[in-house]
């Protein structure tokens, strides 16, 4: 009985985290225009490191453990806005060509098998 409850709890926790991530992406308009996406990512870049530090301090106070100081996150000199649209276009074009390529490759494979079985 306990393993079933535990697996159900794990499933519910994972589903909640996934649902929260989808809601956050939708709410913050991360898949919208690239200028809004870049603004949200810059905001996250400013907010996440202090939040991680505060959380580690809280854990240290509650458990008595000493956590080492995390190194500073690396700084990147490129804007996601420059590469966002080209990446999306590349992925979408690959997805749109995938069915015809799969058909083409299966025909080639079928012809190869016909030749080998003669």
Residue 21 structure tokens: 């991530």
Crossing angle for the helix pair 34-63 and 80-117, to the nearest 10 degrees: 100
pLDDT at 106 over 90: yes
**pLDDT at position 105, please?**
92
**pLDDT at position 82, please?**
65
Q: What is the pLDDT of residues 46-102, one digit of tens each?
A: 888 788 888 888 888 888 877 777 677 777 776 666 666 777 778 888 888 999 999
Q: What is the pLDDT of residues 4-52, one digit of tens each?
A: 888 898 999 999 999 988 888 888 777 777 777 778 878 887 888 788 8
SS3 content of the chain, % helix, strand, coil (to 5): 80, 0, 20
**pLDDT at position 44, please?**
80
- Long-range (24+ apart) CB contacts under 8 A made by 44-49 are 45/73, 49/73
């Amino acid at each position: 009985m306990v393993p079933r409850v535990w697996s159900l709890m794990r499933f519910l926790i994972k589903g909640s985290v996934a649902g929260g991530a989808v809601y956050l992406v939708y709410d913050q308009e991360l898949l919208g225009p690239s200028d809004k996406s870049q603004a949200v990512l810059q905001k996250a870049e400013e907010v996440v490191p202090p939040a991680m530090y505060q959380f580690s301090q809280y854990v240290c106070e509650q458990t008595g453990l000493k956590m080492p100081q995390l190194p500073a996150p690396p700084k990147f000199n490129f804007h996601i806005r420059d590469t966002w649209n080209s990446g999306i276009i590349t992925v979408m074009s690959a997805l749109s060509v995938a069915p015809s390529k799969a058909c083409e490759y299966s025909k080639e494979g079928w012809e190869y098998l016909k030749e080998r079985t003669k």
